[in-house]
C-alpha cells in the first residue's frame, strides 16, 4: 500500500488523470490511495493569491512560501511523525526519473508530490520540506502536474495488487533492461503479412528463444545505451 499525496493548484486535473483505468481500480480496491491538496486553500491572502513578483526582477511570478508550507504541514500532520515520508518536488532541475527510482519509491508508505507553477516556488520553502527533486526528461513543461502523474503511474504499477495477472508480465521486459519483443494477435494473415511461423509452433522453448533474440536485436538497434548496460551485466554472470 502506497499513499500518494499531491500538493497542487490544479487538483481536478490530477484527479481526472489518475482515477481512470488501472489506477482508478487500484485506488478503489485499496492497494493505493490518492489525495490532492489544493495549495490555494491555504493562502492567508484575502484575495486567494498564491504568487508574487520575484526579488531582483525579471519576468514571471513565483509561488510564495507560506501557502505551500501550510499545505505541506496539513498533509505531514495527518501522516504523523511515526511514518517517514519523502517530499518530491517536480522540476526540470531535478534528477531524471527512471525505473530504478520508481522501484525504490514503490517501497514507501507515503509519498508527497509538490507541483510548481509559474516560474517556480520560493527557494526557502523548498529547502525546508523537499527531500527529492525530480525531472521527467529534458524538455520544459508548464507545471509539475503531468510529471507527478507520470511518476505516480510508474510507481503505482509496481505496488503489489495493482496489476492483475495478465498485466504483470510486462514489468519483466523493461525490468530486465531490454526492450519488448514484437507481438501479434489474430488473424494469422493481415494485409498479406503473416505472423512469424515460430509463434504458431507451440514450442515454448523456441518461442522464448525467439523473443529474447528479438528483444536483444531491438535494444541493440534502438537503444545502444541500454544494450551496452545489459551486456555488461550479463558478461559477469556468464563467467
Min dist CB 119 to ligand 6GU, Å, is 10
Interface mask (CB under 6 A) for ligand 6GU, residues 59-88, using x and -?
------------------------------
What size, in residues, is the chain?
Answer: 239
Helix (H, G, I), strand (E, B) or coil at 48: coil
Min dist CB 128 to ligand 6GU, Å, is 20
- 9 or 26: whose CB is closer to ligand 6GU? 9
Min dist CB 151 to ligand 6GU, Å, is 8
Asked if residue 124 has a cis previous peptide bond (ω within 30° of 0), the answer is: no
Measured distance CA(192)–CA(183) in Å, rounded: 17
Measured distance CA(48)–CA(67) in Å, rounded: 10
DSSP 8-state assignment for residue 20: S
Contact range with ligand 6GU by CB under 6 A, out of 1-9, 80-88, 138-146, 165-173: 138-146
Q: Is 90 in the site for ligand 6GU (CB under 6 A)?
A: yes
Min dist CB 136 to ligand 6GU, Å, is 4
Q: Is 144 in the site for ligand 6GU (CB under 6 A)?
A: yes
Size of the site for ligand 6GU (CB under 6 A): 12
Q: Is 160 in the site for ligand 6GU (CB under 6 A)?
A: no
Measured distance CA(32)–CA(95) in Å, rounded: 25
- 2 or 136: whose CB is closer to ligand 6GU? 136
Beta bridge partners of 89: 114, 133
Q: Is 91 in the site for ligand 6GU (CB under 6 A)?
A: yes
In terms of phi and psi (left: phi > 0; alpha: psi -120 to 50; beta: otherwise), the region of 36 is: beta
Contacts to ligand 6GU from residues 98-137, by CB under 6 A:
135-137
Cα dist. 171→9, 159, 165, 215 in Å? 33, 12, 11, 14
Helix (H, G, I), strand (E, B) or coil at 95: strand
- 39 or 163: whose CB is closer to ligand 6GU? 39
DSSP 8-state assignment for residue 131: S
Contact range with ligand 6GU by CB under 6 A, out of 47-55, 63-71, 90-98, 181-189: 90-98
Residue 125: half-sphere exposure toward Cβ, Cα within 13 Å: 20
What residues line the site for ligand 6GU (CB under 6 A)?
90-92, 135-137, 139-141, 143-144, 147
Amino acid at each position: 500500500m502506497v499513499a500518494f499525496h499531491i500538493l497542487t493548484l490544479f487538483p481536478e486535473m490530477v484527479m481526472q488523470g489518475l482515477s481512470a483505468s488501472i489506477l482508478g481500480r487500484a485506488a478503489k480496491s485499496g492497494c493505493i490511495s490518492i489525495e490532492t491538496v489544493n495549495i490555494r486553500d491555504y493562502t492567508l491572502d484575502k484575495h486567494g493569491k498564491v504568487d508574487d513578483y520575484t526579488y531582483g526582477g525579471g519576468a514571471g511570478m513565483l509561488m510564495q512560501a507560506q501557502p505551500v508550507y501550510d499545505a505541506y504541514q496539513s498533509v505531514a500532520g495527518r501522516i504523523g511523525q511515526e511514518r517517514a515520508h519523502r517530499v518530491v518536488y517536480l522540476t526540470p532541475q531535478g534528477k531524471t526519473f527512471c525505473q530504478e527510482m520508481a522501484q525504490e519509491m514503490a517501497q514507501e508508505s507515503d509519498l508527497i508530490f509538490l507541483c510548481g507553477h509559474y516560474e517556480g516556488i520560493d527557494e526557502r520553502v523548498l529547502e525546508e520540506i523537499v527531500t527529492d527533486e525530480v525531472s521527467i526528461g529534458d524538455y520544459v513543461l508548464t507545471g509539475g502536474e503531468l510529471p507527478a502523474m507520470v511518476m505516480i503511474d510508474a510507481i503505482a504499477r509496481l505496488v503489489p495488487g495493482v496489476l492483475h495477472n495478465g498485466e504483470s508480465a510486462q514489468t519483466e521486459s523493461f525490468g530486465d533492461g531490454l526492450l519488448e519483443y514484437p507481438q501479434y494477435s489474430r488473424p494469422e494473415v493481415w494485409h498479406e503479412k503473416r505472423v512469424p511461423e515460430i509463434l504458431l509452433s507451440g514450442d515454448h522453448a523456441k518461442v522464448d528463444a525467439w523473443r529474447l533474440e528479438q528483444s536483444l536485436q531491438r535494444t541493440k538497434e534502438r537503444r545502444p545505451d541500454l544494450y551496452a548496460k545489459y551486456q555488461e551485466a550479463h558478461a559477469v554472470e556468464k563467467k
